[in-house]
Amino acid sequence: MEKLKYTYGFLEGEVILSLDREVFTEEMAQEILNFHEDFGAFRDNEDDVLNACKKIAYTAFYVASTKSYNTEGVKREFAEELEGFPPLDGSVGITLNYVEGYEFDPFEFELYEE
């Protein structure tokens, strides 16, 4: 079992996946990438399993950030709402262990008049 840790920005967000390559195959990864082929930026590695994991991690981070979901909420979103993605409960060889999205803080905005 591989652990994959993705960070976004300067440690602003984090996604941790567990990957079992015996279950989550290259063919499964290619199906995900082909379904979401408009995301060419995720084909930056010769290993399509890692490319698919990067796409999954990015989407998990996006869901956590935009919907203020915790790890379980993101897992539920993948299982019930997101077309073209596998469930992240380990049943297909990939598990979402942790996700922390970026939280926008209204106190971080400052007005500068010119």
Written as one string, the DSSP assignment of the chain is: -EEEEEEETTTTEEEEEEE-TTTS-HHHHHHHHHHTTT-GGG--SS-HHHHHHHHHHHHHHHHHHHH---HHHHHHHHHHT-TT---SBSTTSEEEEEEE-----GGG------
pTM recorded for the entire structure: 0.84
Q: Per-residue pLDDT tens for 3-62?
A: 999 888 765 789 999 999 999 999 999 999 989 876 566 667 788 899 999 999 999 999
Q: How confident is the model at residue 113, as a pLDDT?
A: 80
